[in-house]
Amino acid sequence: MKTTTFALACAAAAVVALAGCASKPDSYYTLAGPPALTDAAPRLLNATSPMYIELAPIAVPERLARPQMVVRRPTGGVQVDVLEQHRWASSFENELRDALGSGIAGRLGALDVTQGGRQTSQPVWRVAVQVRQFDLVDGGRVDAGFSWTLRRSDEARTVVCRLDAGEATGSGMDALAQGAQRVTATAAAAMARSVNAAQTNPGATACAI
């Protein structure tokens, strides 16, 4: 009898363990914000002479190159938490690339041809972004630092840009994700302005955003 009870207990424990292993993350987040996050109404695409943008793969710190959200503790220190139950909809660098691409294109009235879709004879603004910092601080804020370069495919010059941005947030992962969306929208707006400025001033090699 004891042997049977023990076996049943073991079987029940195994079922619980397998159920735990099979469970999926319960929350997914995107960095692509709603239209209300744009700083101005999107421009209309110029069908006769469209502008094209192309984003290089985004360079991020190795600790962020994952779908799991990486959160710093409000007390500071050296530890971070990698949250299995709270994830970006894709790996962080891909999610950021998609959000920046759509945000820049929408503000410029441009076409994002990162995945292709233009003839090689058509000039394109190439944007290469490096994330220096993207810290989610639990119950506090989001702090980010971006560097990027701009180069038009038919020009030799390279324009170098930099931005530091931060957003206070409420508590909870939803609030942190919303703060991250706002920071990403701020970066997209700055990058769009830098393309505008570079196009207006053909001799510029430093950003004015």
CA distances from 114 to 33, 54, 102, 117 (A): 19, 4, 10, 8
pLDDT digits (tens, 9 = 90+) for 45-91: 555 568 899 999 999 999 999 999 999 988 777 889 999 999 999 99
Given this model, what pLDDT does residue 89 score?
A: 95
Q: pTM for the whole thing? A: 0.81
Give first-to-last CA distance, the chain, whole Å.
Answer: 78
3-state secondary structure at position 198: helix
How far is Cα 209 from Cα 200, in angstroms, rounded to an integer? Answer: 13
